[in-house]
Structure 1
Amino acid sequence: MAMDANNGIFLVAITICEIENKESWRYFMTLLKEFIGDIDLITIISDRQKGLVDVIQTCWSNASARYCARHVYANFRKKFLGLRNLFWAVSRVSNIIDFQQAMEKVEAVDREAHRWMIENDVRSWSRHSFDLDSKSDHVTNNMCEVFNSWLGENRELPILSLLEHYRRRVMVQMQARANARNDWITTVPPTVHRKINGLIESARNVKDIWPGSDEFEVNLLALTFVVFALFREGKLHQPQQVRHVNIKATVKGSRYFRSVELKHAIVFWCDKIVQA
């Protein structure tokens, strides 16, 4: 399963095998790679199924591999109770400073839980460390559960009938989305459009000054930030990518680095386009 530009599930490929093991995953991933090609940027979110991690490293050595945080949490709560909110705070933070603060809160409550997170490769299921070039910030693969729910009573069908069920379901879904595209009011997908409008609204109190270099001064109420923007081939990154750039701020006399929030990126990204 994959996600389309409008944040909807998109069936890429399906296979039916006798058992879930390393060989069946190798068979599936090899055929998948032959079908879609050797993509430079691809993100794979898995439940760390048997043999899958090793197969990903072999077949997709350039892939940005993540672990589904929901399944990581399922293992976490078997040992540590009452830490649900702290766990998801660690998983969903988008910058290193907030991540460190979230981990400090976990350590203050339970040092063993803090050690468990570190030992279980927290960077593979915490948003702050995701590849900057990835277009997805999902921390779970819940879309697969939606796909599995399609089975219903059809789970008991013969193999060919089951595949026909999926084929027809996908065919209807794709046509419905094609029809819905005619109602879009912009070239930007509706889900993204609503998100951008919400960010624009939340950025009304954000002011920026661009001196023409790779620095911006961003003013938010009583706070002043010096933002270092990321450029590629002479062009400023899209807002989704700019939210990961480093920011140096002075607050109450202390200087620290953190990632710029997306609403700040919206302001100085739009201003640079206007001034250019």
Structure 2
Amino acid sequence: MGATEMKKELKFKYGIDIPYQTVYNGTRRASEKLFGKWNDSFDWLYRIKAEIELRSPGSVVEIDTITDDEGKVRFSRFFCAFKASIDGFLNGCRPYISVDSTALNESWNGHMPAALTLDGHNWLFPLAFGFFDSETKDNWVWFMKQLRKAIGPMEHLAICTDACKGLESAVKSVFPDVEWRECFRHLMENMKRYYTGDVYGKNVWPVARAYSPHKFKYFFDKVLPASPEVQKWLDEHHPFLWARSKFSADIKCDYINNNLAESWNAWIKEHKDLPVHCMVDAIREQIMILFAKRRKISIALPPGILPDVIYQLNATSRRV
């Protein structure tokens, strides 16, 4: 709870109005008693790493440091992929990875990159996460290298990202042979800056959703007369896959938006203002609870095709 929220809560619950600075100092003092000092939190990551590797052999946990001008060794970035997440992805998930990052709160204004995927029931499946100070090319390349080390080489793999220049370079250098997909919602937000009108809203979305090449051409031919420059703009600024008709059938995933990243951000939102070692431990606990819950669900499910897949098949057959 932040100082502003705490001030309101004290006013509502106890009827006392305390100056903001006093409340802020009190919350900082309480936070240090609960979680320790922020500067010590980065040192505690090494203990977290040792404990994870001891309790879950096969997990990939990496910490990278830099040496400043004064010769002091400082924290730079962190990567974590639990053994259960790696095995679950390789043995039970589709070869599809959504990659994005979210900004952290509180004293360290860093970012949390995450690699996410889908299980057989189309549920969010966390694969890996980490920390770095900013979304630079070097940081993204390091994160993607750790991810490749965790999952190993794969014959078929799709990676979906937003329009992030540093991430683009990282995927090109670390995963040069993957099917590279781009979030269509972000593409449309960029398109609205240059092209406006009903013709784009009514026809560009159906272009992306169409499964067959002739349906893709049917809707795209309605867009080109409004502005022939659209094709050139897409080829220059959005050369990656964003239409279902272009996706490989081997991936078995037709998502055109990077919604997995938004779901992850909402899922870990309440942990984003914790010290980094507490954040890692809180996410670890949350993932363990998630996997235990899904294990119970899987035991209770009948053998055969999953219920969610049957529901989708029935819904599709009714539309036909």
CA distance in 2, matches of 1:14, 1:145: 14
Match of 1:79 among 194, 200, 203: 194
Question: Would you tell me which structure has more helix in proportion to its own residues?
Answer: 2
Residue type at the aligned position of 1:20: E
Q: Answer yes or no: is the 8 Å Cα contact 1:66–1:124 preserved in 2.
A: yes
Specify the SS of the correspondent of 1:38: coil
The 3 A distance-change label for structure 1 pair 118 and 90 is farther
CA distance in 2, matches of 1:13, 1:128: 29
The 3 A distance-change label for structure 1 pair 116 and 178 is same
- Unpaired segments ≥5 residues, structure 1: 204-276
Deviation digits for residues 113-149 of structure 1 (CA, Å, limit 9, x no counterpart): 4543344446611111112322211111111101011
Q: Answer yes or no: is the 8 Å Cα contact 1:20–1:50 preserved in 2.
A: no
Q: How many angstroms does 1:155 deviate by?
A: 1.7
- Unpaired segments ≥5 residues, structure 2: 1-115
Specify the SS of the correspondent of 2:165: coil
Q: How many equivalent residue pairs? A: 203
Residue type at the aligned position of 2:214: I
Specify the SS of the correspondent of 2:129: coil
Q: How many angstroms does 1:176 deviate by?
A: 1.3
CA distance in 2, matches of 1:60, 1:118: 21
Q: How many angstroms does 1:202 deviate by?
A: 5.5
Aligned to 2:251: 134
TM-score when scaled to structure 1? 0.68
Residue type at the aligned position of 1:165: A
Aligned to 2:165: 50
Aligned to 1:33: 148
TM-score when scaled to structure 2? 0.59
Structure with the greater alpha carbon radius of gyration: 2
CA distance in 1, matches of 2:153, 2:239: 28
Aligned to 1:4: 119
Instruction: Please show how residues 137-156 of structure 1 align to structure 2 within 5 Å.
Output: 137-156=254-273
The 3 A distance-change label for structure 1 pair 123 and 24 is closer
* RMSD over aligned Cα atoms: 1.9
Match of 1:161 among 278, 290, 311: 278
Match of 1:187 among 301, 304, 313: 304
Q: Answer yes or no: is the 8 Å Cα contact 2:136–2:166 preserved in 1.
A: yes
Q: Answer yes or no: is the 8 Å Cα contact 2:187–2:238 preserved in 1.
A: no
Q: State yes or no: 1:178 paired with 2:287.
A: no
